[in-house]
Structure 1
Amino acid sequence: MKPLRLAATGSLSLTGVVLLVPILAHLLSGPPPLGIVLGVAGVLVSLGLVAVGAVVYRLDVSQTNAVRIAGWNFLGIVVLGAVFTLVFTYRPVEDAGFLFSVALSAGAVAHVIIGVYDVRRIRAEELATERERLAVLNTLVRHNLRHEAQRLLFAVERIRQSNPETAAEVEAVADDLTEINENVRAVEEAFDTDVTEVDVAATCRRVVADAEEAYGLDVALAAPESAPVRASEYLRDAIDELVENAAEHAGEDPTVEIDVERDGRSVAVTVADDGPGIPESERELVAGERDITQLEHGSGLGLWLVRWIVEEYGGRVEFDESDLGGAAVTLTLPRA
């Protein structure tokens, strides 16, 4: 719990509670019909302020931005409070406290809305800056990875005859670097691709055909004739990655199954194998249940690639144990 965030959002709810008291007192005094209408409106607005505090606390904004929203609320109270104090001092009216509270509650809500839009504007600018930095970083990282992989491959040719075992190890490292480079490229390009309609059943059939050719892997596929989802061409990269993981980690003769099931509003694609499974620590990292540290950072970009691509389409990724004894990864995607 962050005390500053709690204090900022709590001030929004407290504003609603404080303004609610005189409004309820006026309603209980038996006002005329118009007073009842104003009172009910004031009660609803004040209760809205009370609820807004809880909503903003759970909102995906930083602590600083939560304080910013509370600041807009405070500004609205101060400015409107000063204006109405001067007005009612200049010309006293009956039930000034009631009218004062109704006006302040409406003004506070308006300023909270302004604060939320202000925070969204700031966040949009921050995201634009972050995306620009990441684009530059991705370009540099991909260039360096590709360059270093090429250097290693040249080194392999020089030592292959004299030391074949070392050459094989170096070549494997170069292949890993090349794969990381391709995964970084796929992630970057997936975020810049428009989401359209993709037949995931047809995509899985192509993945199965490629797996048989590339790895000699016999993948069992259970899928309907067609299963359109909201995705892009990079959905295939995510499914390819899961099948490749199974081929690499499930032993000499792995068993891999892909199951495609249509539900009411979604389509689930499950890739299961009989390998050693995905370590719990890595599943928790990719699922966001554990923070990345210098000691705990996962074994590569593969599962992150899967998660980021699927989430870009509004889907989700779930990890489980398969009936085959290995891992089962399910991609749930919105139906098109």
Structure 2
Amino acid sequence: MDEDRTPDERLKRQRDDLQLLNQVMRHDIRNDLQLVGAYAELLDDHVDEEGERYLEIIKENTESAVTLTTTVRDLAQVMLREDAEPKQVSLDHVLSQQVEEVRSAYPEAVFTVEGSFPDEAVVADEMLSSVFRNLLQNAVQHNDETPPSIEVSAAVVEDTVEVRIADNGPGVPEHLREEVFGKGEKGLDSPGAGIGLYLVRSLVELYGGEVWIEDNDPKGAVFVVELDIAQ
């Protein structure tokens, strides 16, 4: 029984179980969801007008679930790491790549890059891409405007780089801004993007940085990520 194991043995068992869950999430569940999405696309020419509404709901929720499997995979990877140390990462390369990838995944949204991104290296690691991917996807998925509009900018502020991802959605009321990162009373059941934003804050804090939310003008929210410049 588990009670008979030493603390180290129980920890190893938990890590093994988490690794197995990560593999199942990454492979079996994700593959099944992608198959559902592919067959939904094939039904486009075989449903009537009313059926199109329902088919679109299937497509949207399947896409959302595939995105969730990626987030859970990334969160498990963070939890499974042992003594990982942040290193120097090119902010320009990672942020530019994620803007292009999310832009391709959401052609209905309008992405604007303000100016150029700083060429400084920041303190982070290979998971920094997950930070920006989740914030960019969140700006589209929780947007009630047509089209969703997202503006991305970054600038050096003293010895840090601030990345700002602004949207024209409904915004986040000030009293909920801690909860959407999974740190509030409701934890991962908090309103908003839930586990995706929990992963964002977990990673940014691991790098010694900060993430917060501001109001956008005239409407929407601005997610700000502050990362130290690598010395």
Shorter chain as denominator, the TM-score bin is 0.7 to 0.9
Aligned residues: 214
Q: Distance in 2 between matches of 1:150 and 1:208?
A: 22
User: Structure 1 pair 146/227, CA: closer, same or farther in 2 (3 Å)?
Assistant: same
* Structure 2 residues without counterparts, runs of 5 or longer: 1-5
Q: Deviations over 1:77-126 (max 9, x none)?
A: xxxxxxxxxxxxxxxxxxxxxxxxxxxxxxxxxxxxxxxxxxxxx99887
The within-5 A match list for 1:316-331 is 316-331=210-225
Which residue type is aligned with residue 243 of structure 1? L
In structure 2, the residue matched to 1:306 is 200
Matched, 1:290 2:178: no
Secondary structure at the counterpart of residue 333 of structure 1? strand
* Structure 1 residues without counterparts, runs of 5 or longer: 1-121
In structure 2, the residue matched to 1:171 is 59
User: Structure 1 pair 297/252, CA: closer, same or farther in 2 (3 Å)?
Assistant: closer
Which has the greater radius of gyration? 1
Contact 1:282 1:298 in 2 (8 A): no
In structure 2, the residue matched to 1:256 is 150
In structure 1, the residue matched to 2:23 is 139
In structure 2, the residue matched to 1:152 is 36
The within-5 A match list for 1:1-336 is 130-143=14-27, 145-146=29-30, 148-150=32-34, 152-153=36-37, 156=40, 160=44, 161-162=46-47, 163-190=51-78, 192=81, 195-216=86-107, 217-223=110-116, 225-248=118-141, 249=143, 251-278=145-172, 283-285=177-179, 286=181, 288-292=183-187, 296=190, 298-336=192-230
Contact 1:218 1:256 in 2 (8 A): yes
Q: Aligned residues: percent identity?
A: 26
Q: Distance in 1 between matches of 2:188 and 2:75?
A: 21
User: Structure 1 pair 149/225, CA: closer, same or farther in 2 (3 Å)?
Assistant: closer
Q: Which one has a larger percent strand, Structure 1 or Structure 2?
A: 2
User: RMSD of the alignment, in Å?
Assistant: 3.4
Secondary structure at the counterpart of residue 169 of structure 1? helix
TM-score normalised by structure 2 residue count = 0.73
Give the C-alpha shift of residue 175 in structure 1: 1.3
